[in-house]
Every structure is written in C-alpha cells, then in structure tokens.
Chains A and B, each alone.
Chain A
Amino acid sequence: MLDESMLKGAFEQYHQFLVAALPSAEDLEEITLSDRLERRMERLLRRQKRIYYPLINTALKRAACIAGAVLITGSAVAIGVGGAKEEKSYFTYYVYDEYVSVNFINTELHPDTLRVISQKKIPGFLPKGYEMVEDRSDTNMTELIYEGEGYDCFYYAQYPNGSSAGGSTENAEYKRIRINGNEVLLFIGKDVTQLIFNDGEYLYFISGTLTKDEIVKIAKSIE
C-alpha cells in the first residue's frame, strides 16, 4: 500500500527537478506572442470574470435532494385556428433543494418529432450598451451570448419543444407572469434574473444581469 504523504513528498521533489530544468524568465524574454493571441486571451480572461462563466449543466449535481414534485397544469396555448379550449401543453415543476426544474410538455407533440430549430428566433430588443458577442447556435438550439458594459451580460437560448429548463430559486423569488399570451416563469435573484417560457413551438430561456423590466422587454421582443 502506497504511503500517500510519501507520494506527495515525492512529487514535490519531482517538481523541483522539473522546474529547475525550465527556462528562466530571462530566457523567455525574447518570445513575442501575437496580437491575435493576446486579443483572444483578453476576451477569455474578461469572459471568465463574468458570472455566467461557466454556463454548464450543473443542475443535476445541485439537485441532490428532491424536496418534492409538483404537477401544475399550465394554461392552454393557442395553436390551432379558433383558439384552444383544450390544454395543449402543460409544464411541471420539480422542486429540488435549491433549484426549480421546469419541464414543458406538449401533449400534441409526436414522440418521433425531430427536435430541431426550424425557425431561429432572436430578441429584437437589447438594453442600452448590449451587443451580441457569441453565437453558439446549431440545428438543435439557438444559443446567443450578449455583453454590456462592465461585467453585464446575458444569455439567450431557444430550444425545440419538449425540452426542459431549470431556474434557480436559491436566494431568488420566482413568479408566474404572462408575456404575449404565454405563461412565463420569472426568477429574480440578487445578481441574476432568469426567465423561461414556451410558446407552443419552442422553449425560451434568458438569464443574466438584467433588471426585471429589461428581461421582460427582451422576452416580449422575441421574433
């Protein structure tokens, strides 16, 4: 059985050998990195300071404790002519310890329906000072990142129907509001605001350092 403390000590000594063989700062003085790299690194370092970085799928990790599952029937989404009197979609809440997961279910969606974005929709309204800096979209999702002044930023995503999205309730209040006739989940935290809704065709998610008014205006402008 290996002695772990001796192993650590061994690596320390190995590191001494290794580092002693590395070139000194003076030796490296002549190296000039290109402007291209410096610009690229500047963007990366700036972006890693943003609170959305990393925007990763940690929801399942955070959802270690399931406090309960609540099935709530959402209001009808008018898809066909003449309005809908029957419910064509509903969403479920899964209430985890610090997190709420929302799943939009379209009752008319055939299980074999190809989940692709056939019509890319983007926000028409941007708060002052914001611009789109990255487009990570593909056929299965629209994913855009916007940056504002200082460290302000927001993330916008459009997913095929049948997708689900999670909003965080940690240190945040959440409420249900209506935008353009659609029921919307709004999460208002100390530093981050999130908004999720389904218009019967796609699921939309917006998250960022936005005020409630800004995020609602962005959601209203999606076309």
Chain B
Amino acid sequence: MLAFYLSLAESPEEKSKIEEIYHQYKKLIYHIAYSKLQKQELAEDAVHDVMLAVIGGIKKLQDRSGEEVKAFLCLVTRNVAVDLLRKERRRAAEPLEDLPLAGGLDPQQQLGARAIAEYIAQMSPIYRDVLELTAYYGFSAKEAAALLKITPATARKRLERARSLLSAYLKEEAYVG
C-alpha cells in the first residue's frame, strides 16, 4: 500500500537554521570530508549529503550551541565520507582515525565526566558515534542508524556494546581508584 501525506514540515525558524548552518560551516564540512576522500568532487558530494542529514535532524539541532553543532557535523561528515568511500569501492588503508586533539589529553586520570570524556575520545568511532547521537543529541537508535548508514539492528548492537564498554571502564576505574 502506498500511502503518503503532504507534511507541513519544519518551522520557518528551523528552515533558517539549516541555511545558517550551511553558510557558516560549509567549508569546515568540506575540509573534514576532503581529508578523508582526497577528491574535490567526492568531498563536495559529502557536503551535500551532510546537509541532507542536517535537514533530517534539524529538530535535534535547533537549540544547540555552535560547539555542539560543529561536533555533530564532524561526526556526520566522517560517516558520510566513509560511506562515499565504500561506494567508490575503496578500502580505507587504516581504520578511521579520530580527529587530533589539540594539546593532547590531560594525563590525569579521574572518575567523573572528565574520565569518561577521555575514554570516549579513545573509543572506536563505530561505538562512540551511535552513543553520541543517542545519549547526547537525543536521536533514536533508528534515526542514528539512518545517519550512520547502518541498519537499526546494527545500531542497537553497537549502542549496547558502547554502553557495556563504558560501564566496564567505569567499574575498573572505581576498582583501581
């Protein structure tokens, strides 16, 4: 059964926000994509695809700070670039690298948010991304799956694994501490 409904979609404020995000961050998105794809045309395709993700997720981004929007764009751009690489039938020579952290991590280990932040930074992106999208940005597992170009079942498994890794880390730290 084909059923469709003409939706009066986003509010004017959300539509403006989408434009604002594009004009403010288009070069950043391109830069991140190009660093993975090394081809202008592909990197520009990535910009387009990232903006599609922004349009789809605008309700979750509407009231976010610039820093939060940037972090979201980094996450999505990285995944879009990987997806484009797959489509180009190239295999990444190395696993996805995290973006370098300025000044390195604070070596001091402590429990609480900072300790978790450090662990998150070292976590494999395949687990971190789905955890970030759900726990921080508020996307459902199904929405996160769509953004990450994976199946909902895979998203749920990765989320479970991410939480389990984090819980184990915290338990270990508490034990050591």
Q: Which residues of A contact B (CB under 8 A)?
A: 1-2, 4, 6-23, 25, 28, 31, 33-34, 36-37, 40-41, 44-45, 48-49, 51-60, 62, 99, 101, 103, 141, 155, 159, 163-166, 168, 191-192, 194, 205, 207-208
Contact = CB atoms under 8 A, between A and B. Distances in A.
B108 to A, nearest CB: 13
B167 A11 contact: no
A15 B51 CA distance: 20
Contacts of B132: 11
Contacts, number: 163
Given A16-B67, A31-B30, A164-B2, A7 B48 contact: no
Interface SS of B by simple majority: helix
Nearest to B35: A23
Interface string B30-44: 110000000010001
Contacts of A19: 67, 70-71
Given A16-B67, A31-B30, A10 B120 contact: yes
Interface SS of A by simple majority: mixed
19 contacts: A8-B135, A9-B112, A9-B113, A10-B116, A13-B114, A17-B105, A17-B117, A18-B70, A28-B31, A40-B48, A41-B22, A44-B51, A48-B55, A51-B8, A55-B6, A57-B3, A163-B1, A164-B3, A166-B5
A37 B48 contact: yes
Contacts of B67: 15-16, 19
Given A15-B68, A31-B30, A33-B26, A48 B112 contact: no
